[in-house]
Structure 1
């Protein structure tokens, strides 16, 4: 039998060679020295079993690291996105007026400074300082063919980021553009992806939306059981979501039937933010936003022109940032007031079948067929001419 000294020296040699091999491997794979230090362990000369266990842990750790690196290497890469440069966008149809309504995911955040740079933390990573756009809706007032159109865009859609070139596209989620580049950049991104020029915008935070809804007296919304249960678990304030007959307050415990409930401003904002009900995530959330807006539009149908002007002034007082001046806001209010008797039409971007989920940059996102989205948008807007032809 070999002496213990020889056996121990042999195991020591094996261990050193193994560690050297691992060191070379991780050095080649560009693992930082800090990470490498976590892998190297002291090899004891007092027994073979300890050395074996150390090597086994090293091998296991190496396999985990290789798996993680190969997983990252094979992560989904977005397909190139076709857009239309701003200077090649078609002119807006005569009589159509587009306004971009935005709502950031903050209750009290003030507007992003016009000269602000993209916020980052000390490590240089993106920072949500000014809020991300939780709601993105294009309001189109068509005074020529007498139409009001609401187009909502899902917030996790992948887009080509501002500053990209045709040969070097950089991708990101659409709801990050405002925080990183500002509202004008977001107008441009949406315009170039959807094929129409949008230049006017107005941005709110949650508190401002709450104030406007409350100013209009709240909103009546039809709820299903899943939405009722969600709002109850969220603990909406007492008396803020009540059935029209007054018998059911969602705040209270007990069974509440599906049906139409009256919301105050605060709980209407909570309703618009629901995503984890019905299994359709952000798609149903954008539908809820459109539901609230179209219901509020119905509320405005009986307004006098003086009341419509007061509402325009209220909106000017309750927004974070807009490039509409008071005269332009009153002009938009006049367009809407003259269209108060028409049915509000709705479109969701992306349309059915033009999207699939993707994991990108450690976040979930939606990859859209933007060509199909542009076709849907163009068809939606061009229906105005069909209406005119039928009337003629």
Structure 2
């Protein structure tokens, strides 16, 4: 399939200024796992009460057991859906960031798999549509089912984080160091101004390229840049860049900082995981360490933009993407 048309993406993105943040989901998830695994006890339970815990029907998640059995590692590897939403109170919102967090003790890795939000897939009850619409149609349950049915996975759990938590997390951690290119410098300050106006912050402009120390608002602005020559693919790369920086900060942060961090982020977190689940997962995360690896699907060169009935979609060969994703998640094959 021809390579993704970046110019077409840029034109479309300029018409749709959505607040799409990817990396914040995994950060919220990781904060919960690392910190709660450490603090334990009654304090652990008290912190969990800050989260919005919901139930989902695990018999309605589209898992095809016969397909999963093809992978002998599947029962040892944990996959959790991570969603980033930009929603107001009372609304589900679209999951403009969709990731799969994989705890892989076999290969001693934490894997983060991004799914392009405009991917053209089948959504049960709604037909072919953008994968990020599934969350608005049926919340996390339908979103998980959509991922499982299209990519042949076995996801049963999720964590959703609202974009509002990101700047607070970054500021608590003392900011992040990010290298800004000349092209990114052309756009970042307009995003900073927009966030300052909406959130009542007063973060400064960035005046030069190179490595810059960014606060929460500046980092959020960096993650939202959409108009560079690389289009949506470069935007997701920027998300992963900030994720790497935050992951390194989190793993080197003292336990004394967890209290303020969790008090800020947990109200923005929704999950079906209970206290015992999180403690178990946190222990696994800590045993694996900071060996984080990332990938994105459809991979570069395997998708192209298309207008269907006047709507833009990212089209791709589903069977190819499905095979590549499962090989990566279950067998640690990255090509």
Q: Which residue of 2 aligns with 1:213?
A: 170
Work out the CA distance in 2 between the residues paired with 1:330 and 1:308. Answer: 15
Provide the alpha-carbon RMSD of the alignment. Answer: 2.8
Work out the CA distance in 2 between the residues paired with 1:332 and 1:374. Answer: 26
What whole-Å deviation, never above 9, does each CA across 1:246-270 have from its counterpart, x for those lacking one?
A: xxx41xxxxx332112222233222
Q: Which residue of 2 aligns with 1:281?
A: 231
What whole-Å deviation, never above 9, does each CA across 1:75-130 have from its counterpart, x for those lacking one?
A: xxxxxxxxx95234405624322222211234xx1365xxxxxxxxxxxxxxxxx3
Give the TM-score of the pair, scaled to structure 1.
0.60
Q: Equivalent residue of 2:93, what SS? A: coil
Q: Equivalent residue of 1:229, what SS? A: helix
CA contact 1:136–1:153 (8 Å) conserved in 2: yes
Q: Which residue of 1 aligns with 2:243?
A: 293
Alpha-carbon spacing, 1:314–1:139, altered in 2? closer, same or farther (3 Å): farther
Alpha-carbon spacing, 1:290–1:282, altered in 2? closer, same or farther (3 Å): same
Q: Equivalent residue of 2:100, what SS? A: strand
For residue 310 of structure 2, the aligned residue among 362, 368, 374 is 362
Q: Which residue of 2 aligns with 1:336?
A: 285
CA contact 1:308–1:337 (8 Å) conserved in 2: no
CA contact 1:152–1:290 (8 Å) conserved in 2: no
Consecutive unaligned residues in structure 1, runs of 5 or more: 1-83, 113-129, 165-169, 242-248, 251-255, 387-392
Alpha-carbon spacing, 1:145–1:314, altered in 2? closer, same or farther (3 Å): farther
Q: How many residues align?
A: 264
Q: How do residues 46-85 of structure 1 correspond to structure 2 at under 5 angstroms? A: none
Work out the CA distance in 2 between the residues paired with 1:305 and 1:160. Answer: 44
Q: Which residue of 2 aligns with 1:316?
A: 266
Residues 1:380 and 2:328 are matched in the alignment: yes
Q: Which residue of 2 aligns with 1:101?
A: 82
Q: Point out the structure with max Rg over C-alpha.
A: 1
CA contact 1:162–1:181 (8 Å) conserved in 2: no
Q: Which structure ranks higher in relative contact order (CA pairs < 8 Å, sequence separation ≥ 6)?
A: 2
Q: How do residues 196-235 of structure 1 correspond to structure 2 at under 5 angstroms? A: 196-235=153-192
Q: Equivalent residue of 2:132, what SS? A: helix
Give the TM-score of the pair, scaled to structure 2.
0.70
Query: C-alpha displacement at 1:347, in angstroms?
Result: 0.7
Query: C-alpha displacement at 1:346, in angstroms?
Result: 1.2
For residue 211 of structure 2, the aligned residue among 260, 281, 293 is 260
Work out the CA distance in 1 between the residues paired with 2:253 and 2:78. Answer: 21
Alpha-carbon spacing, 1:204–1:137, altered in 2? closer, same or farther (3 Å): same
Q: Equivalent residue of 1:163, what SS? A: coil
